[in-house]
Amino acid sequence: MAKLVGKAVIGQSGGPTCVINRSLVACVEELRKAKQVTGIYGARHGVEGILGEQFVDMKGQSPTALAKLLDTPSAMLGSSRMKPKPDDCAKIFRVFKKHNVRYFFYIGGGDSAQTANIINELARGEHYEFRTFHIPKTIDNDLLINDHTPGYGTAARFVASAFQGDDLDNRALKGIKIDVVMGRHAGYLTAASVLGKLEADSGPHLVYCPERKFSFKQFARDVDRVYRRLGRCVVAVSEGINKGPKDTDLITAEAGEVLLAESARRELPRDSHGHPQLSGTGILADYLVFKARQALTPKYGKLRLRGDTFGYLQRSFPGVMSEVDAREATQVGRLAAKYALSADIDGSVIIKRKKGRRYAVEYGYLPLSKIAMGERPMPNSFINKAGNYVTKKFVDYARPLIGKMPKTGLLQAKPVRNK
Amino acid sequence: MAKLVGKAVIGQSGGPTCVINRSLVACVEELRKAKQVTGIYGARHGVEGILGEQFVDMKGQSPTALAKLLDTPSAMLGSSRMKPKPDDCAKIFRVFKKHNVRYFFYIGGGDSAQTANIINELARGEHYEFRTFHIPKTIDNDLLINDHTPGYGTAARFVASAFQGDDLDNRALKGIKIDVVMGRHAGYLTAASVLGKLEADSGPHLVYCPERKFSFKQFARDVDRVYRRLGRCVVAVSEGINKGPKDTDLITAEAGEVLLAESARRELPRDSHGHPQLSGTGILADYLVFKARQALTPKYGKLRLRGDTFGYLQRSFPGVMSEVDAREATQVGRLAAKYALSADIDGSVIIKRKKGRRYAVEYGYLPLSKIAMGERPMPNSFINKAGNYVTKKFVDYARPLIGKMPKTGLLQAKPVRNK
């Protein structure tokens, strides 16, 4: 088979991760080796850059320059939240034809796979030989098919570390601490809060994921039970709890609660799907603190109660990369290029976990047309019956993904007997 | 001089830091070597534990057990916010006499030095030979006399890293991002936000410290100016901005603003000094986002605006220790023990910076009676004239304290010329 000669375009899309540049660098390095690739264009801000023909030269990047990006969080080419409409996709395809782009790599979530597929179909329709690969990433870990997604391991490691530290802090000063974690539709990241626990009574003591109905009553009862036993309580809450049929359910559920009502009245920003923007505000944590205070103060009197929202640090904090995640992000970027260069195929790179006690993965791909739309919630078996904690099955699943944690430990000291 | 034979008590106080256990371990290790120290008691939760005679045996700790604590954030013995009254101090002294405690080490901020001094004075009054040392710590870096304080370097490294990542994130998706940093009275930690900048146009682009009067009008104008030029803007704001003569000034300054008024009406928690508790809530960041939206939307239309409050992660996140900070925290703990064992003295260990281009410090101590009350704000020369950024002088001061940052870099790629 004659080699397909032409340019390659690579872009990054959606919420950045700490390892998305690993995929970028690995893909570019693989493409640089291939003579049939006459140019490597980086698209600035994903499809927006393609539509505006804003490309940067990635073929001219030296290995040294690329190496500097390996440990750098966030999407170096710029990212985009734009979901291109069919017209946009047609325009993108015209841009590709104009530049003789024959290879297209899009690093992103489920929407990016769809975009890649539409452009690929346009190329097929015109018998324009074209190879396109979707390179998966998302900190939410909610892509269908994949065992897990590059970006998740490092974000999960951040969350596990954050809760380890926060629990130690809360032991020292004793109180109730509520931390809100990213993940609107899936609880994977919130569940990762347990992965840094130093002993059974370490926090988080309660974990609420969006897969289960959230009840303020149960929440208050749960916190009370833990606080009564330990004199302290750390709670992990997903930003996506209590999504009802209407996205505003959480906000309207409890009439008269001014804080959330205010957020609606003030037109708290909404994303392109119309969901109220909960990341980037502290409103949910503050509200839960308020609810817990209301429920527990009559019983305990003055309480030390705090709420934190981990926010964008979860996906952008440098220096906490999971080495497993970094390796896999590299691998999916490299393989996308290899697959595309090897044969007339398109697809999305897939990570499968091998059976066996020792953690190991194998890679493959699925044709773009077979990538179904939608998000993957956590399986039921990862959340306990009461809906307020994770199961051992989740821990077994997620523990290998976060890599090595910092070496920390608790003081084991005998009390001195009083005279 | 005959060696003073008796027990030692060590305690931790105030807000935990990531290196406070380094001071604890170093002090205990030094004391374990001294034969005249017949027992080493760790006080659970600072003065609370002394009052309640809740001690744990630290002499029996093996070097291996102690080593596990070195990289563990937060105060392992438990901490306390209690400011003991004269009666409490008298009781503490009685407990010490009862147990033949002759050495007392208190790791904490300015209040802890005062507590140590009061107890020391009681001992002197009764001609009870007693040696007490204060071991400094605070992430706020606002202790008087010291060039800087153990705990600050690591918290500053966290903040510098957080802003580096957050700026990269904000470059990728373009918007206005406002991050609230700890430090009620001093801007050292907020100012540290600039220490991870990868280039001049990296964020934070604006830095507001509590040392200068905060004006919402100037804030909106500043953000507008940066956003107009770069199409993005990252802002670092201290949780302590705009403290007026009354602590509620920020809240009452702008009548009709429901969010903050609500926080007052709902009796947002206050600390023991009556200050409204801004850490542990997201209310200030949300409010500033609201103000920026209000000011800029008429001009720019729909904007991507987010606010994060870094919260307790700043003082408790594991695995991001500044090696300089770790070394110095060890050193102050060790020296406190050495000083106390060496002669009939009391004091607070002091860190001085040596003159010269290369960063180096020397240690000393000041008698407890000479430790003045109060907090140290940043010098005027660390903040620019406009009050919206730091100076080179601050960077020169703080850069050596945070140690090595992770290796990260920006993509330097030439735009592709369009056909």
B411, part of any domain = no
Q: What is the phi-psi region of residue A192: left when phi exceeds 0, alpha when psi lies from -120 to 50, beta otherwise?
A: alpha
A413, part of any domain = no
Closest by alpha carbon to B173, among A27, A273, A17, A142?
A17
Q: How far apart are CA B20 and CA A269, in angstroms?
A: 40
* CB neighbour class for A86 (10 Å; exposed up to 12, middle 13-18, buried from 19): exposed
| Chain B residues whose beta carbon lies within 8 Å of the beta carbon of residue A162 | 313, 317
Six-digit token pair at A364? 């493959």
Q: How far apart are CA B45 and CA B101, in angstroms?
A: 18
- Test B41 with A79 for CB contact under 8 angstroms: no
- Test B306 with A311 for CB contact under 8 angstroms: yes
Q: How far apart are CA A30 and CA A335, in angstroms?
A: 9
- Test A169 with B74 for CB contact under 8 angstroms: yes
Same-domain status, B31 and B86? yes
Q: Reduce the secondary structure of A104-146 to three states and give it as a string.
A: EEEEECHHHHHHHHHHHHHHHHCCCCCEEEEEECCCCCCCCCC
Q: Which helix (H) or strand (E) holds B276?
A: none
Same-domain status, A300 and A212? yes
Q: Give the best residue of A59, A182, A308, A407 to mutate against chain B (max B CB count within 10 A).
A: A308
A61, part of any domain = yes
Nearest CA-CA distance, residue A236 and chain B, Å: 14
The total domain count for chain B is 2
Q: Are strands A176-181 and A305-309 parallel, antiparallel or unpaired?
A: parallel
Q: Is A111 among the catalytic positions?
A: no
Q: Does B348 touch chain A (CB under 8 A)?
A: no
Same-domain status, B174 and B94? no
**Four-residue CA torsion sign, B356, B359, B364, B367:** positive
Q: Please tell me which of the candidates B45, B258, B408 has its beta carbon nearest to residue A71.
A: B408
Can you give the pLDDT at residue A419? 62
Q: Does B264 touch chain A (CB under 8 A)?
A: no
Please provide residue B154's backbone torsions phi and psi, each rounded to the nearest 5 degrees. Answer: -75, -45
- Test A305 with B269 for CB contact under 8 angstroms: yes
Same-domain status, B266 and B189? yes
* CB neighbour class for A13 (10 Å; exposed up to 12, middle 13-18, buried from 19): buried
| Chain B residues whose beta carbon lies within 8 Å of the beta carbon of residue A281 | 282, 285-286, 289, 306-307
Catalytic residue among A87, A111, A140, A166: A140
Nearest CA-CA distance, residue A262 and chain B, Å: 7
Taking the mean position of all CA atoms in its chain, how far away is CA A231? 33
Report, in this order, helix, strand and coil percent for chain A, each rounded to 5.
Answer: 40, 15, 45
Six-digit token pair at B153? 């370097």
Q: Does A58 touch chain B (CB under 8 A)?
A: yes
- Test A281 with B282 for CB contact under 8 angstroms: yes
pLDDT tens digits, B176-218? 999 999 988 899 999 999 999 999 999 999 999 999 988 888 9
- Test A169 with B315 for CB contact under 8 angstroms: yes
Q: Please tell me which of the candidates B78, B283, B418 has its beta carbon nearest to residue A171.
A: B78
A133, part of any domain = yes
Can you give the pLDDT at residue A279? 52
Taking the mean position of all CA atoms in its chain, how far away is CA B63? 28
A309, part of any domain = yes
Helix, strand or coil for residue A101?
strand
Domain span holding position A99: 6-150+320-370
Nearest CA-CA distance, residue A209 and chain B, Å: 21
Q: What is the pTM of this model?
A: 0.94
Same-domain status, A282 and A342? no
- Test B318 with A165 for CB contact under 8 angstroms: yes
**Four-residue CA torsion sign, A378, A380, A384, A388:** positive
Report whether the peptide linkage leading into residue A204 is cis, meaning its omega lies within 30 degrees of zero: yes
Q: What is the phi-psi region of residue A120: left when phi exceeds 0, alpha when psi lies from -120 to 50, beta otherwise?
A: alpha
| Chain B residues whose beta carbon lies within 8 Å of the beta carbon of residue A60 | 413-414
- Test A77 with B411 for CB contact under 8 angstroms: yes
Can you give the pLDDT at residue A145? 86
Q: Are strands A361-366 and A347-353 parallel, antiparallel or unpaired?
A: antiparallel
Residue B240 has pLDDT above 50, yes or no: yes
**Four-residue CA torsion sign, B45, B51, B55, B58:** positive
The residues, ordered by sequence, that sit 6+ positions from B277 with a Cβ below 8 Å of its Cβ are A306, B268, B269, B270, B271
Q: How far apart are CA B308 and CA A272, in angstroms?
A: 21
Q: Give the best residue of A408, A410, A417 to mutate against chain B (max B CB count within 10 A).
A: A408
The structure tokens 């009548």 sit at B255
Contact by Cβ (8 Å): B109, B348: no
Q: Which residue of B has its CA nearest to A24?
A: B411
- Test B169 with A77 for CB contact under 8 angstroms: no
Q: Which residue of A has its CA nearest to B46?
A: A172
- CATH value at residue A104: 3.40.50.450
Can you give the pLDDT at residue B254? 37
Q: How far apart are CA B259 and CA A264, in angstroms?
A: 12
Closest by alpha carbon to B291, among B246, B263, B253?
B253
Catalytic residue among B140, B167, B325, B346: B140
Same-domain status, B71 and B193? no
Contact by Cβ (8 Å): B15, B79: yes
- A365: amino acid identity, one letter: Y
pLDDT tens digits, A277-334? 555 677 788 778 888 888 999 999 989 999 999 999 999 999 999 999 999 999 999 9
Q: How far apart are CA A91 and CA A128, in angstroms?
A: 15
Q: Which residue of A has its CA nearest to B290?
A: A266
A375, part of any domain = no
B1, part of any domain = no
- Test A318 with B76 for CB contact under 8 angstroms: no
A1, part of any domain = no
Can you give the pLDDT at residue A277? 53
Q: Does A109 touch chain B (CB under 8 A)?
A: no
Q: How far apart are CA A79 and CA A208, in angstroms?
A: 30
Helix, strand or coil for residue A12?
strand
Eight-class DSSP state of A210: T
Q: What residues form DSSP beta bridges with B235?
A: B178, B206
Contact by Cβ (8 Å): A334, A29: yes
pLDDT tens digits, A334-380? 999 999 999 999 999 999 999 999 999 999 999 999 988 888 999 99
Report whether the peptide linkage leading into residue B73 is cis, meaning its omega lies within 30 degrees of zero: no
The structure tokens 């509590």 sit at B210
Six-digit token pair at B215? 């004006």
Q: Does A248 touch chain B (CB under 8 A)?
A: no
Helix, strand or coil for residue B371?
coil
Can you give the pLDDT at residue A242? 66
Can you give the pLDDT at residue B268? 52
Six-digit token pair at A46? 């994903």
Alpha helices in B126-274 (DSSP H): 152-173, 188-191, 216-230, 249-253, 258-265
Can you give the pLDDT at residue B329? 98
Same-domain status, A237 and A280? yes
Helix, strand or coil for residue B297?
helix
Taking the mean position of all CA atoms in its chain, how far away is CA B101? 30
Q: How far apart are CA B400 and CA A120, in angstroms?
A: 52
pLDDT band with cut points at 50, 70 and 90 for residue B241: confident
Can you give the pLDDT at residue A215? 85
- Test A165 with B69 for CB contact under 8 angstroms: no
A 152-191 near B (Cβ less than 8 A)? 161-162, 164-166, 168-169, 171-174, 177
Taking the mean position of all CA atoms in its chain, how far away is CA A150? 8
Nearest CA-CA distance, residue B416 and chain A, Å: 5
| Chain A residues whose beta carbon lies within 8 Å of the beta carbon of residue B313 | 162, 165-166, 308, 310, 313
Can you give the pLDDT at residue A54? 97
The residues, ordered by sequence, that sit 6+ positions from B77 with a Cβ below 8 Å of its Cβ are A411, B10, B11, B12, B24, B42, B43, B44, B45, B46, B49, B56
Can you give the pLDDT at residue B262? 46
Mean of pLDDT values over B97-105: 97
Same-domain status, A236 and A162? yes
Same-domain status, B315 and B336? no
Can you give the pLDDT at residue A257? 41
Q: Does B12 touch chain A (CB under 8 A)?
A: yes
Residue B243 has pLDDT above 80, yes or no: no
Q: Does A413 touch chain B (CB under 8 A)?
A: yes
Nearest CA-CA distance, residue A414 and chain B, Å: 5
Same-domain status, B175 and B288? yes
The structure tokens 């897939």 sit at A350
The DSSP annotation for B17-47 comes to -SSHHHHHHHHHHHHHT-TTEEEEEEETTHH
Same-domain status, B45 and B175? no
Q: Does B73 touch chain A (CB under 8 A)?
A: yes
Same-domain status, B97 and B29? yes
Nearest CA-CA distance, residue B385 and chain A, Å: 30
Binned average pLDDT, 10 residues per bin, chain A of 419 residues: 90 97 98 97 97 97 94 97 92 96 96 94 95 97 93 98 98 96 93 98 96 89 97 95 51 38 48 51 80 90 91 96 98 98 96 96 96 89 97 98 96 87
Eight-class DSSP state of A29: H
- CATH value at residue A250: 3.40.50.460
- Test A286 with B289 for CB contact under 8 angstroms: no
Q: Give the best residue of B68, B416, B417 to mutate against chain A (max A CB count within 10 A).
A: B416
| Chain B residues whose beta carbon lies within 8 Å of the beta carbon of residue A177 | 312
Taking the mean position of all CA atoms in its chain, how far away is CA B6? 33
Can you give the pLDDT at residue B216? 83
Nearest CA-CA distance, residue A151 and chain B, Å: 14
